[in-house]
Amino acid sequence: MATPLVPRIKPGGRATNDRPNAVHEAFVRRAAELGQASGGFHNQNYVLPLTEPLARLVGRDPDTSVTVRVRRAEALPVVIRTWQNEAEILRAIKGVLPNVPECLVEGDGFAIHSYVEGVPLSSVCGNGKPVDTLLMKALAGLLAETAQVRRGALPPLPPFWPTNHTDSQGFLKTLARTADLQIRKPNWPYFGGLFAALGIPEDALVRLAEQVPAMTRRPYSLLHADLHRDNVIMSYGGDPPLICVDWELATYGDPLHDLATHLVRMQYPSHQRGEVIESWADAMWGVRPAAVNGVDKDLRHYVAFERAQSVYPDVMRAAKSLEKSFDQKSLDEATAAVRRALEAAAEPLRLRNVASEAEIERILFRWRASRRAGCGTPQRTAVGAIDWQPDGRVAERPDFPHSAVADALFLEGAAPASRVFKGTAHLNSVVRVPGVRFPVVVRRKVTEVCRRERSFLSEHNVLAAIERSKVEVAAPRVLALGVSHSKDRFAVHTYEGPDNTDQKPDHPVHGLLPHEADGLVAQLAALTDVKYKEVDPSAEEDTPFYGWLSDQLVALVGELPKESQQLARFLGLPDAERLKEILSRHKVSHRAPALLHGDLNPWNLIRRKDALALTVIDWEMALVGDPLYDLVRHMHLTPTRPEIRERLFRRWAKWLEPKHTRDWEKDWRVYRWIEIVRSAYVDLDRLATGASLDAPNVRRAVDSYAMTLAAATGSLGLSVRPKANPYLARALA
């Protein structure tokens, strides 16, 4: 009988002959005959006895059990790896921790380890269950033992590792940046759109790294970094009683990180958390006392990081699970997993308004349905997975028929992160539909948003009226309106951003340029030619707009939640009744009404390269009223230099008919004043409730709240209460 072909290798070395995967192929073939593989997300582990030729090769007795670890080719990059070669780590720790597995053979995509006899802790004490006190202390001892491994024995560290091996702050910053580099970035092309739809920004981990506070210095040591119940083997003989396996995620750094990952991944009951920390501190004190410095202050930062970075693998695994099964039960389980991950990561990543389970389900459904036939051109057999019903208020468009709507909904879930924009009230996904010459945006309302300022007109009616009037206003066209999965309402508009849809729209966030000021005024003038009765039949020519505007603000203040009203009172802002009295002191001349945009902040303006200079988007706050108000509110929401303000007023007064501009010189300051007062309440409510803080226009507004409050109270003839007040400190944070 011919001798089986095996690689020429040394025990613990790498294969060297022309068929380096011969061992791999033989072992996997035998494993398939003997039973199924076990393992985690990164490797498949096969346990099988050595054949006589292979036993001679690795210096073991025939029939000795070994573990064949095969890297999963399809595994997502969801972990931080300091070193790529687990065999090098095992060789480094062998002398200090003699009972860990030994690497006998390593090849391309596989390794053969000595088999550790025993049962995983998870099989006798599952996640969430209390751990016996003696066992807990033994686990703490395992973590402390790794500190005895000398730095010189370990493989070289990456070049970006902190050079000061006591810099705890630098280590945590490095972890966050490495998680972004190794986990977030490789998966962003495929999953980025999903994360954007869920409200996780692209720079979340980078911002987390920038926000790491000063920390106590602790000496670095070897860390296992993945010590959970599946990676602890309880030996049959009890000598030693516990053995750590799976060292592929080991790293070198602050030992407090090892404790944090252990706490989170072991899923101890909450009442055991303090006992675990105390056991770890006792064990570490006997090996390296300086490692326990600052544990009470700094542990929370590592726990927060662990929860923050876990949102990426947890969401991706939940989404990938739908590729195997896409029934309602699987969708419910994936939705629950994503919700748990978002809730855990919300605080460290500073996520606001975590999506509800209903919204998460719809996002996952669209994401998965768009991939049923693979990413790319929509296929008619796949489009049917996203059922939708047209809304008769918008007729089918010749240039965008219902079949194109179905294609847009199919492509929506697969839109990359660069084409997904989540604002204060809408989730917008930009797609290119085959056969349609222009890109479109699918708009869906964010169900959790609580917008204090009311919307009065239907956006699709406003845009349709602008289109019918054929005025020179650069605004999107409404292409479709309907209801899709789970009665989720949507609209499809023309996309008004750059021709290259992978480029972000350019907004005048620092203020308008002179030609942009001219373009905006020209469009405000054109809006006066739109027949506003078509969008608001109840609008009256002689309705006092300022009185109506004041009533709306008083109603808003009266409807604020209790916590916001209490905070306003402590800051010196008047209640609704008192505010009504103050507002009634002012009078404004009557001007002929017109259709107004109502929210001309910079992010609702997109730069363009023609005479109009700006495209105006997001018309959900449109209303009928005094044209002067639209201009003044824009100047309140947008940084406006004095010369640009003068240019806007001068051209606005010249280009609009006198019936729209009379007495504007004496009235514009009243509108500016009421907008400052409005912002004092609205931004305060956002600070108190956390609503919409991810939106850039909201973020900028609340960041300058101290100035807004001072301006509002001063103009109201009131005084701000002292900063010592804790509520004021919270509002100005």
Q: Kindly state whether residue 8 falls inside one of the protein's structural domains.
A: no
Same domain, 81 and 144: no
Q: Are residues 158 and 296 in the same domain?
A: yes
Whether residues 106 and 165 share a domain: the answer is no
pLDDT for 190 beyond 80? yes
Decide if pLDDT at 724 tops 50: no
Of all residues in the chain, the percent with pLDDT exceeding 70 is: 87
pLDDT digits (tens, 9 = 90+) for 305-317: 999 999 999 999 9
pLDDT value at position 16?
Answer: 39
Are residues 208 and 309 located together in one domain of the fold? yes
Asked if residue 364 is part of any domain, the answer here is no
> Does the pLDDT of residue 438 top 70, yes or no?
yes
Average pLDDT taken over every residue of the chain: 86
User: Which residue among 83, 115, 147 closes a domain?
Assistant: 115
The CATH code of the domain that includes 42 is 3.30.200
Q: What is the pLDDT of residue 732?
A: 47
Which position has the higher pLDDT, 731 or 5?
A: 731
What value does the CA radius of gyration of the chain take, rounded to a whole number of Å? 32
* pLDDT 10s digits, 446-470: 865 567 788 889 999 999 999 999 9
* pLDDT at residue 383 greater than cutoff 70: no
pLDDT value at residue 98 = 77
pLDDT in tens, 469-509: 999 999 999 999 999 887 889 999 999 988 888 888 999 99
> Is the pLDDT reported for residue 124 higher than 80?
yes
Rounded Cα–Cα distance for residues 369 and 323 (Å) = 10
pLDDT at residue 18, rounded to an integer: 39
Kindly state whether residues 448 and 492 are assigned to the same domain: yes
Q: Is residue 559 part of a domain?
A: yes
What is the predicted pLDDT for the residue at 152?
Answer: 87
pLDDT tops 60 at residue 651? yes
Q: What is the DSSP letter of 400?
A: B
Same domain, 482 and 513: no
**Structure confidence at residue 22 (pLDDT):** 58
Query: Can you tell me the mean pLDDT for 716-733?
Result: 53
* Same domain flag for 391 and 243: no
pLDDT confidence of 11, banded at 50, 70, 90?
very low
pLDDT of residue 2: 35
Summarize pLDDT for 326-381 with one digit per residue, the tens.
888 999 999 999 999 999 999 999 887 788 899 999 999 999 988 765 544 444 43
In a domain, 688, yes or no: yes
Q: Per the structure block, which two tokens stand in for 174?
A: 């490095």
Q: Are residues 500 and 513 in the same domain?
A: no
Whole-number Å distance between alpha carbons of 224 and 279: 17
Do residues 575 and 458 share a domain?
Answer: no
CATH number at residue 588: 3.90.1200.10
Domain membership flag for residue 12: no
The mean per-residue pLDDT over the stretch 561-565 comes to 87
pLDDT for 1 equals 34
pLDDT at position 252, please?
Answer: 96
**pLDDT at residue 577 in the model:** 93
**Residue 43: per-residue pLDDT:** 73
Q: What is the pLDDT of residue 176?
A: 97
Question: Which residues have a Cβ under 8 Å from the Cβ of 493 and sit 6 or more positions away?
Answer: 440, 441, 443, 463, 476, 477, 478, 479
pLDDT (average), residues 634-652? 95
**Total count of domains within the chain:** 4
**Amino acid 9: pLDDT:** 37
* Residue 248 CB neighbour total at 10 angstroms: 23
Q: Are residues 133 and 243 in the same domain?
A: yes
Q: Which amino acid is at 383?
A: V
pLDDT, greater one: 416 or 4: 416
CB 339 within 8 A of CB 363: no
Domain contains 351: no
Lowest model confidence (mean pLDDT) among 35-39, 185-189, 364-368: 35-39
**What does the pLDDT look like over 494-550, one tens digit per residue?**
999 888 888 889 999 999 999 999 999 999 999 999 999 989 988 888 889 999 999
Classify residue 529: in a domain, yes or no. yes
Taking the C-alpha atoms of residue 456 and residue 403, their distance in angstroms, rounded to an integer, is 32
The two three-digit tokens of residue 382, written as one number: 């796949």
| CA distances in angstroms from 567 to 221, 552, 663, 692, listed in the order given | 48, 21, 37, 18
Q: Please report where in the chains the tokens 């975590």 appear, as a residue.
A: 354
Task: Note down the domain range covering 697.
Answer: 508-733
Residues in the chain: 733
Domain boundary among 505, 539, 570: 505
Do 673 and 528 fall within a single domain? yes
**Does 353 map to a domain?**
no
> Are both 333 and 408 inside the same structural domain?
no
Among 505, 538, 557, residue at a domain's last position: 505
608 against 730, higher pLDDT = 608
Cα distances (Å, whole numbers) of residue 245 to 103, 235, 555, 605, 629 = 12, 12, 63, 56, 68
Give me the pLDDT at residue 266, please: 94
Whole-model pTM: value is 0.83
DSSP one-letter code for 182: I
CB atoms within 10 A of CB 539: 17
Distance, CA of 221 to CA of 93 (rounded, Å): 12
Give the pLDDT confidence score for residue 448 in this predicted structure.
59
